[in-house]
Protein backbone atom coordinates (compact mmCIF):
# COMPACT_ATOMS: atom_id res chain seq x y z
CA UNK A 1 0.00 0.00 0.00
CA UNK A 2 1.32 3.41 -0.96
CA UNK A 3 1.39 6.27 1.47
CA UNK A 4 0.29 9.68 0.16
CA UNK A 5 1.16 12.89 1.90
CA UNK A 6 -1.62 15.49 1.85
CA UNK A 7 -0.92 18.31 -0.68
CA UNK A 8 -0.52 20.91 2.05
CA UNK A 9 2.18 18.90 3.76
CA UNK A 10 4.09 18.24 0.52
CA UNK A 11 4.11 21.98 -0.22
CA UNK A 12 5.54 22.60 3.20
CA UNK A 13 8.49 20.27 2.38
CA UNK A 14 9.30 21.96 -0.94
CA UNK A 15 11.10 25.04 0.44
CA UNK A 16 13.02 22.84 2.86
CA UNK A 17 14.18 20.61 0.01
CA UNK A 18 15.37 23.63 -1.97
CA UNK A 19 17.33 24.91 1.01
CA UNK A 20 18.86 21.50 1.58
CA UNK A 21 19.91 21.23 -2.09
CA UNK A 22 21.37 24.75 -2.05
CA UNK A 23 23.34 23.95 1.08
CA UNK A 24 24.67 20.79 -0.53
CA UNK A 25 25.86 22.74 -3.57
CA UNK A 26 27.60 25.28 -1.35
CA UNK A 27 29.23 22.53 0.68
CA UNK A 28 30.32 20.59 -2.41
CA UNK A 29 31.84 23.61 -4.15
CA UNK A 30 33.68 24.52 -0.96
CA UNK A 31 35.02 20.99 -0.82
CA UNK A 32 36.17 20.98 -4.43
CA UNK A 33 37.74 24.43 -4.49
CA UNK A 34 39.66 24.17 -1.24
CA UNK A 35 42.24 21.81 -2.68
CA UNK A 36 43.43 22.91 -6.09
CA UNK A 37 42.49 26.59 -6.26
CA UNK A 38 43.87 27.42 -2.91
CA UNK A 39 46.40 30.22 -3.01
CA UNK A 40 49.56 29.43 -1.18
CA UNK A 41 52.39 31.80 -0.40
CA UNK A 42 54.96 32.17 -3.16
CA UNK A 43 57.82 32.48 -0.71
CA UNK A 44 57.94 32.05 3.04
CA UNK A 45 60.46 33.71 5.29
CA UNK A 46 61.36 31.27 8.04
CA UNK A 47 62.90 33.43 10.69
CA UNK A 48 62.32 32.34 14.25
CA UNK A 49 65.58 31.03 15.48
CA UNK A 50 68.81 32.45 14.20
CA UNK A 51 69.46 32.67 10.47
CA UNK A 52 66.83 33.81 8.03
CA UNK A 53 65.77 31.30 5.40
CA UNK A 54 63.69 32.15 2.36
CA UNK A 55 61.76 29.13 1.17
CA UNK A 56 60.31 29.06 -2.34
CA UNK A 57 57.02 27.47 -1.38
CA UNK A 58 55.28 27.76 -4.74
CA UNK A 59 58.30 26.59 -6.76
CA UNK A 60 58.50 23.48 -4.61
CA UNK A 61 54.84 22.69 -5.29
CA UNK A 62 54.61 23.59 -8.95
CA UNK A 63 58.06 23.47 -10.53
CA UNK A 64 59.49 20.61 -8.51
CA UNK A 65 56.11 18.84 -8.41
CA UNK A 66 56.02 17.93 -4.74
CA UNK A 67 52.62 17.18 -3.27
CA UNK A 68 51.49 19.06 -0.16
CA UNK A 69 51.35 15.97 2.03
CA UNK A 70 54.98 15.14 1.35
CA UNK A 71 55.89 18.09 3.60
CA UNK A 72 52.67 18.78 5.51
CA UNK A 73 52.42 15.44 7.20
CA UNK A 74 49.97 16.50 9.91
CA UNK A 75 46.78 15.72 8.01
CA UNK A 76 45.89 13.41 5.20
CA UNK A 77 44.18 14.80 2.11
CA UNK A 78 45.02 17.83 0.00
CA UNK A 79 42.06 19.93 1.05
CA UNK A 80 43.28 20.22 4.62
CA UNK A 81 43.98 23.60 6.15
CA UNK A 82 47.68 23.30 6.71
CA UNK A 83 49.24 25.12 9.58
CA UNK A 84 52.78 26.32 10.04
CA UNK A 85 55.30 23.67 11.03
CA UNK A 86 56.59 25.89 13.80
CA UNK A 87 53.36 25.58 15.78
CA UNK A 88 54.08 21.91 16.38
CA UNK A 89 57.85 22.08 16.07
CA UNK A 90 58.72 25.10 18.20
CA UNK A 91 62.20 26.27 19.05
CA UNK A 92 61.74 24.46 22.37
CA UNK A 93 58.93 22.74 24.26
CA UNK A 94 59.48 25.18 27.09
CA UNK A 95 57.18 26.64 29.71
CA UNK A 96 56.04 29.36 27.38
CA UNK A 97 55.04 26.88 24.67
CA UNK A 98 53.26 24.59 27.09
CA UNK A 99 51.28 27.46 28.55
CA UNK A 100 50.22 29.00 25.24
CA UNK A 101 50.08 26.20 22.70
CA UNK A 102 46.45 25.32 23.35
CA UNK A 103 45.47 28.54 21.57
CA UNK A 104 47.43 27.80 18.38
CA UNK A 105 45.37 24.97 16.97
CA UNK A 106 42.07 25.07 15.11
CA UNK A 107 40.42 21.99 16.57
CA UNK A 108 40.71 18.96 18.77
CA UNK A 109 41.85 16.78 15.91
CA UNK A 110 45.10 18.68 15.95
CA UNK A 111 45.57 18.24 19.70
CA UNK A 112 45.26 14.51 19.30
CA UNK A 113 48.17 14.52 16.88
CA UNK A 114 50.46 14.90 19.91
CA UNK A 115 48.17 13.97 22.79
CA UNK A 116 47.65 10.69 21.07
CA UNK A 117 46.89 8.21 23.80
CA UNK A 118 45.22 7.76 27.18
CA UNK A 119 44.52 4.52 28.97
CA UNK A 120 41.50 3.14 30.74
CA UNK A 121 42.04 1.81 34.25
CA UNK A 122 44.05 -1.40 34.01
CA UNK A 123 42.18 -4.70 34.07
CA UNK A 124 42.91 -6.84 37.12
CA UNK A 125 41.12 -9.86 38.61
CA UNK A 126 41.70 -9.42 42.33
CA UNK A 127 40.09 -12.62 43.60
CA UNK A 128 42.02 -14.79 41.17
CA UNK A 129 45.23 -13.05 42.11
CA UNK A 130 44.73 -13.88 45.77
CA UNK A 131 45.27 -17.51 44.80
CA UNK A 132 48.35 -16.73 42.69
CA UNK A 133 50.11 -15.11 45.66
CA UNK A 134 51.29 -16.74 48.84
CA UNK A 135 50.15 -13.85 51.00
CA UNK A 136 48.31 -10.56 50.83
CA UNK A 137 51.63 -8.84 51.52
CA UNK A 138 52.99 -10.02 48.17
CA UNK A 139 51.25 -6.88 46.93
CA UNK A 140 49.96 -4.99 49.97
CA UNK A 141 52.18 -3.47 52.63
CA UNK A 142 52.46 -4.94 56.09
CA UNK A 143 50.33 -3.58 58.91
CA UNK A 144 52.98 -0.94 59.69
CA UNK A 145 51.92 0.99 56.58
CA UNK A 146 48.58 -0.54 55.65
CA UNK A 147 46.67 -1.44 58.84
CA UNK A 148 44.14 -3.19 56.61
CA UNK A 149 44.71 -4.10 52.94
CA UNK A 150 42.98 -1.44 50.89
CA UNK A 151 42.95 0.20 47.46
CA UNK A 152 46.41 1.49 46.49
CA UNK A 153 44.88 4.73 45.28
CA UNK A 154 43.73 5.65 48.78
CA UNK A 155 47.38 6.55 49.53
CA UNK A 156 49.14 6.63 46.15
CA UNK A 157 47.92 9.62 44.22
CA UNK A 158 48.27 10.57 40.56
CA UNK A 159 51.33 12.65 41.33
CA UNK A 160 54.09 11.44 43.58
CA UNK A 161 54.37 12.72 47.13
CA UNK A 162 57.43 13.51 49.18
CA UNK A 163 58.23 9.94 50.21
CA UNK A 164 55.59 8.05 48.35
CA UNK A 165 55.53 6.99 44.71
CA UNK A 166 52.59 7.86 42.46
CA UNK A 167 49.87 5.32 41.72
CA UNK A 168 51.38 4.36 38.41
CA UNK A 169 54.83 3.55 39.75
CA UNK A 170 53.52 1.85 42.88
CA UNK A 171 51.18 -0.49 41.03
CA UNK A 172 53.58 -1.14 38.17
CA UNK A 173 56.21 -2.08 40.71
CA UNK A 174 53.78 -4.54 42.29
CA UNK A 175 52.64 -6.07 38.98
CA UNK A 176 56.24 -6.31 37.80
CA UNK A 177 57.10 -8.70 40.61
CA UNK A 178 55.32 -11.45 38.63
CA UNK A 179 54.76 -9.94 35.19
CA UNK A 180 58.28 -8.93 34.32
CA UNK A 181 57.87 -10.55 30.91
CA UNK A 182 55.06 -8.12 30.00
CA UNK A 183 57.06 -5.06 31.00
CA UNK A 184 60.05 -6.32 29.05
CA UNK A 185 57.97 -5.91 25.91
CA UNK A 186 58.08 -2.14 26.53
CA UNK A 187 55.32 -0.17 24.85
CA UNK A 188 54.01 -3.28 23.14
CA UNK A 189 53.11 -4.67 26.56
CA UNK A 190 51.01 -1.74 27.77
CA UNK A 191 47.87 -3.06 26.08
CA UNK A 192 48.09 -6.38 27.94
CA UNK A 193 46.70 -4.49 30.96
CA UNK A 194 45.41 -1.14 29.66
CA UNK A 195 42.69 -0.61 27.08
CA UNK A 196 43.18 2.49 24.93
CA UNK A 197 40.75 5.40 24.86
CA UNK A 198 39.33 6.76 21.63
CA UNK A 199 41.11 10.10 21.65
CA UNK A 200 38.71 11.75 19.22
CA UNK A 201 36.00 11.40 21.83
CA UNK A 202 38.21 11.95 24.87
CA UNK A 203 36.88 14.66 27.18
CA UNK A 204 39.28 14.67 30.14
CA UNK A 205 42.55 16.50 30.63
CA UNK A 206 45.51 15.23 28.66
CA UNK A 207 48.27 13.39 30.48
CA UNK A 208 51.77 14.69 30.39
CA UNK A 209 53.91 12.95 27.75
CA UNK A 210 56.41 12.12 30.44
CA UNK A 211 53.86 10.03 32.23
CA UNK A 212 54.28 7.28 29.66
CA UNK A 213 57.48 8.24 27.92
CA UNK A 214 60.23 7.92 30.45
CA UNK A 215 62.42 10.47 28.79
CA UNK A 216 63.39 13.65 30.51
CA UNK A 217 63.20 15.68 27.36
CA UNK A 218 60.30 15.78 24.97
CA UNK A 219 62.86 16.71 22.33
CA UNK A 220 63.68 13.04 22.02
CA UNK A 221 60.13 12.34 20.91
CA UNK A 222 59.25 15.46 19.02
CA UNK A 223 61.64 17.14 16.62
CA UNK A 224 62.01 20.79 17.58
CA UNK A 225 62.24 23.53 15.00
CA UNK A 226 65.72 23.15 13.55
CA UNK A 227 65.55 19.37 13.54
CA UNK A 228 62.17 19.35 11.83
CA UNK A 229 63.31 21.69 9.07
CA UNK A 230 66.78 20.31 8.61
CA UNK A 231 65.55 16.75 8.60
CA UNK A 232 62.77 17.36 6.10
CA UNK A 233 64.42 19.87 3.77
CA UNK A 234 67.84 18.28 3.70
CA UNK A 235 66.83 14.64 3.50
CA UNK A 236 64.71 15.27 0.43
CA UNK A 237 67.46 17.26 -1.29
CA UNK A 238 69.91 14.54 -0.46
CA UNK A 239 67.62 11.79 -1.66
CA UNK A 240 66.89 13.49 -4.98
CA UNK A 241 70.40 14.96 -5.24
CA UNK A 242 68.71 18.28 -6.02
CA UNK A 243 68.55 21.47 -3.98
CA UNK A 244 71.07 22.41 -1.29
CA UNK A 245 72.40 19.85 1.19
CA UNK A 246 75.74 18.85 2.66
CA UNK A 247 78.50 20.72 4.41
CA UNK A 248 78.98 23.68 2.10
CA UNK A 249 75.31 24.24 1.49
CA UNK A 250 74.55 26.39 4.52
CA UNK A 251 74.58 29.76 2.83
CA UNK A 252 72.36 28.55 -0.01
CA UNK A 253 69.52 28.61 2.52
CA UNK A 254 70.74 30.84 5.33
CA UNK A 255 71.52 34.52 5.09
CA UNK A 256 72.00 37.18 7.71
CB of residue 209 vs ligand HEC: minimum separation in angstroms?
3
Which residue in 160, 199, 238, 244 binds ligand HEC (CB under 6 A)? 244
Residues 184-213 touching ligand HEC, rule: CB under 6 A, are 187, 189-190, 192-194, 205-213
CB of residue 26 vs ligand HEC: minimum separation in angstroms?
21
Residues 4-33 touching ligand HEC, rule: CB under 6 A, are none
**In sequence order, what are the residues at sequence separation of 6 or more whose Cβ sits closer than 8 angstroms to the Cβ of residue 204?**
118
**Alpha-carbon span 91 to 108, nearest angstrom:** 23
End-to-end CA distance of the chain: 81
131 forms part of the interface with ligand HEC (CB under 6 A):
no
Q: How many residues bind ligand HEC (CB under 6 A)?
A: 129
Residues 95-114 touching ligand HEC, rule: CB under 6 A, are 98, 101-102, 105, 110-111, 113-114
CB of residue 25 vs ligand HEC: minimum separation in angstroms?
24
74 forms part of the interface with ligand HEC (CB under 6 A):
yes
CB of residue 70 vs ligand HEC: minimum separation in angstroms?
5
Q: How far is CA 137 from CA 51, 83, 90, 167, 232, in A?
A: 61, 54, 48, 17, 54
The CB density around residue 74, as the number of other CB atoms within 10 Å, is 17
For residues 90 and 224, the answer to whether their CB atoms sit within 8 Å is: yes
94 forms part of the interface with ligand HEC (CB under 6 A):
no
Which residue in 11, 50, 92, 100 binds ligand HEC (CB under 6 A)? 50
Phi, psi of 142 (to 5 degrees): -75, 175
* CA neighbor of 66 nearest in space, from 40, 85, 103: 40
66 forms part of the interface with ligand HEC (CB under 6 A):
yes
CB of residue 199 vs ligand HEC: minimum separation in angstroms?
10
Q: Which is nearer to ligand HEC, 11 or 185 (CB)?
A: 185
For residues 44 and 50, the answer to whether their CB atoms sit within 8 Å is: no
Residues 135-154 touching ligand HEC, rule: CB under 6 A, are 136, 138-141, 145-146, 149-154
Q: How far is CA 89 from CA 86, 227, 228, in A?
A: 5, 9, 7
Q: Which is nearer to ligand HEC, 12 or 177 (CB)?
A: 177
Give the alpha-carbon dihedral of 68, 73, 77, 82, to 10 degrees: -70
Which residue in 199, 202, 232, 238 binds ligand HEC (CB under 6 A)? 232
Which residue in 19, 92, 133, 195 binds ligand HEC (CB under 6 A)? 133
* CA neighbor of 34 nearest in space, from 79, 76, 83: 79
Amino acid sequence: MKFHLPIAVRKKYLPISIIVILLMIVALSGYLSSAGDRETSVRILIDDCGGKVVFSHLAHQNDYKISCVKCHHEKGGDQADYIACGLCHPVAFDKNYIEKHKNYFPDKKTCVRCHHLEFFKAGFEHSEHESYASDCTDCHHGSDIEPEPQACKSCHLKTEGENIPNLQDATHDCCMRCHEDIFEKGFKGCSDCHAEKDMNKFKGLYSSCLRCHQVKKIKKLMPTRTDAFHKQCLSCHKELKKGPFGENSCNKCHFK
